[in-house]
Copies of this chain bind each other. A is one copy, B any other.
């Protein structure tokens, strides 16, 4: 039988409210005893007695056995999560940055204290990708996991690409709709999908990778010429994080804009939707699609985690524990498109092979092969106005 959960919740924003809406409609043998919030003066839709600004009201309450952490601040979330796990409380979190940054330690703490940390809501909103990697692909060699992991940059790309909207207008609209982070760089610069990629890779490949090491280039330098180039070739540009197995020994990770064609399942993932492509040795190509952002979809993922805690569900981190992990590497050749203005950048990047080169008064580009480590070394030279780099197949 299921265990009664007494919940303390940190944060009552879009996801927290969405979650509360969902729980209301259920009979789940759980009770939300206390919300800890930052701003005591904000008007709330629930009785004031449920709210406090004092974290101890949850962390020091022995009757609370489950902490749901839905705050923005990654450092505060880390402190809360560690303290809760060490004091015998299970934790559900949707904070991708916190989890990606501290996953090795958090896995260790769970094992040591016998508590459980679940975080399906941190990756691709409503899509149950962590659960499927844990439960279903635990014995599969995965050749690659990639996808559209960031709803707001995908929303912007859809508006810019399909409707000809200006980049700034589309960004503002995404923020108004509540599925862009307060700091847009996290989304459009590819940081948010990078954190998610690191989490996905740990479950897919058993390897904990510091997100600081992973290359991320975003869509913030996307220009009209790039869009025209894509459209002439019936391609779209999507921001795609990818984990790729190499020779059964290494795993390579990167977040790059990519030109993709209509034969790719990600081609039709538009607006705030997310998609995850899994290439498995035996199951072959699998694709998961769903809403990647918004209070209700993410709330539904958090709720699935809460419900699973009623049955003491834990991630097993099996690939890591069975030492079937792959070794992280940046030695990998990519085929890229580079729009540039200054020829010295091309020289500096030292392409291993140049396939196409185009010059016009207002538009210069190159298509060629380049080593991922080169891109990492010259990231700041690439991430400049007048330059746009994207993977191309």
A20 to chain B, nearest CB (A): 12
B268 and A297: CB pair below 8 A?
Answer: no
A26 and B290: CB pair below 8 A?
Answer: no
The residue in chain B whose Cβ has the minimal distance to the Cβ of A132 is: B128
Report how far A19 CA is from B283 CA in the complex, Å. Answer: 11
A354 to chain B, nearest CB (A): 34
A251 within 8 A of B: no
A-B contact pairs, 15 of them (CB 8 A): A25-B141, A28-B139, A126-B286, A127-B286, A138-B304, A138-B307, A139-B303, A139-B304, A283-B290, A284-B297, A286-B289, A287-B287, A287-B288, A287-B289, A288-B288
Which residue of B138, B282, B297 is within 8 Å of A282 (Cβ)? Answer: B297
A131 within 8 A of B: yes
B-chain residues with CB within 8 Å of residue A289 when the two chains form the complex: 265, 285-289
Report A104-141 residues with CB < 8 Å from chain B CB: 126-128, 131-132, 135-141
A22 within 8 A of B: yes
Return the CB mask of A164-194 against B: 1 if under 8 Å, else 0: 0000000000000000000000000000000
The verdict on A285 contacting B291 (CB below 8 Å), with A136-B128, A139-B26 known, is yes
A211 within 8 A of B: no
A226 to chain B, nearest CB (A): 25
Number of this chain's copies in the assembly equals 2
Report how far A297 CA is from B286 CA in the complex, Å. Answer: 10
Report how far A334 CA is from B128 CA in the complex, Å. Answer: 32
A300 within 8 A of B: yes
Report how far A285 CA is from B127 CA in the complex, Å. Answer: 10
Return the CB mask of A264-294 against B: 1 if under 8 Å, else 0: 0100100000000000111111111111000
Report how far A359 CA is from B362 CA in the complex, Å. Answer: 58
B-chain residues with CB within 8 Å of residue A282 when the two chains form the complex: 18, 21-22, 126, 296-297, 299-300, 303
A286 and B290: CB pair below 8 A?
Answer: yes
A117 to chain B, nearest CB (A): 18
Size category, A interface: 35 or more
B-chain residues with CB within 8 Å of residue A287 when the two chains form the complex: 287-290
Starting from the known contacts A139-B304, A282-B299, 16 additional A-B residue pairs (CB-CB under 8 Å) come to A22-B282, A126-B282, A126-B283, A126-B286, A127-B286, A128-B132, A136-B304, A139-B307, A265-B289, A280-B300, A282-B303, A283-B297, A284-B290, A284-B296, A285-B290, A288-B289
A148 within 8 A of B: no
The residue in chain B whose Cβ has the minimal distance to the Cβ of A127 is: B286
B-chain residues with CB within 8 Å of residue A296 when the two chains form the complex: 282-284
5 pairs of A and B residues whose beta carbons are closest in the complex: A287-B289, A126-B283, A282-B300, A286-B290, A283-B300
User: Which of A22, A127, A135 has the most chain B CB atoms closer than 10 A to its own CB?
Assistant: A135
Report how far A22 CA is from B137 CA in the complex, Å. Answer: 13
A308 within 8 A of B: yes
A198 within 8 A of B: no
Report A300-317 residues with CB < 8 Å from chain B CB: 300-301, 303-304, 307-308
B-chain residues with CB within 8 Å of residue A285 when the two chains form the complex: 289-291
B-chain residues with CB within 8 Å of residue A286 when the two chains form the complex: 126-127, 288-290
Report how far A297 CA is from B284 CA in the complex, Å. Answer: 7
A227 to chain B, nearest CB (A): 21
The residue in chain B whose Cβ has the minimal distance to the Cβ of A282 is: B300
Report how far A286 CA is from B22 CA in the complex, Å. Answer: 17
Report how far A300 CA is from B281 CA in the complex, Å. Answer: 9
Which residue of B25, B28, B136, B297 is within 8 Å of A131 (Cβ)? Answer: B136
A308 to chain B, nearest CB (A): 7
B-chain residues with CB within 8 Å of residue A139 when the two chains form the complex: 26, 28, 303-304, 307
